Amino acid sequence: MDKLPGKTVERLSEYRRILLDYLDAVDDYIFSHDLAALLHITAVQVRRDLMLIGYTSVLKKGYDVKELVKTIGVIIDSEEGQNVAIIGLGNFGRAITGYFKGKRSKLNIVAAFDNDPKKIGRTFSAVNCYSMEEMEIVIRENNISIAIITVPPVVARPVALKLVDCGIKGILNFTTKSLNMPANVYLEEYDMVTSLEKVAYFVKEAW
């Protein structure tokens, strides 16, 4: 299969999240229009995404929920799993660590890094916190390939470059500082201020 577009991967993840909740429902099948309604998109978009991964519905029944969850997992998960590190254990970093624990069996937060002596050597949500100086050895020993950055914006860029030097292949940047990474490192940036301003704009336009 060719590499999927980023937006398609996002929606597949959202489909799985919704479908996992749907498993508690009575129905074993779900139609494209019902799944689309839960995500506020069109049924055409749902069908296009699932056709891209070679999944089709059962005539007059819709999609088999359990099989679709399994298929999405095969597509977007790594078979052997991937290890993740949190960089920066402020309030937000600790919140992410606690929230994410146990959410996905194939993605594991196995280490955190901070420069605060009061946090180094402690455990947060069953994740050990190490000093920034230990980053390279811990990342390599634990086969960590993904990093989530929640440090102050002023140090985001040097921290990201250090992560690349340590062998990190994917970065999720939660700071407000935009980063430029080498072509062999996948970068995803999320700015809550931008998202909030987007919501505020549409609220304003609705009145």
**Greater pLDDT, 16 or 194:** 16
Domain positions in the chain? 6-74, 82-193
Q: What is the pTM of this model?
A: 0.86
Mean pLDDT of 59-76: 90
| pLDDT at residue 207 is higher than 70 | no
pLDDT of residue 26: 61
d(CA 109, CA 172): 13
What CATH topology corresponds to 82-193?
Answer: Rossmann fold (3.40.50)
Rg (CA), the chain: 20
Whole-angstrom CA distances from 31 to 13, 59, 148, 153 are 18, 10, 35, 44
Crossing angle for the helix pair 43-52 and 6-22, to the nearest 10 degrees: 110
**What kind of architecture, by CATH, is found in domain 6-74?**
Orthogonal Bundle (1.10)
d(CA 91, CA 22): 32
pLDDT of residue 112: 97
Give pLDDT tens digits for 27-48. 788 999 999 999 999 999 999 9
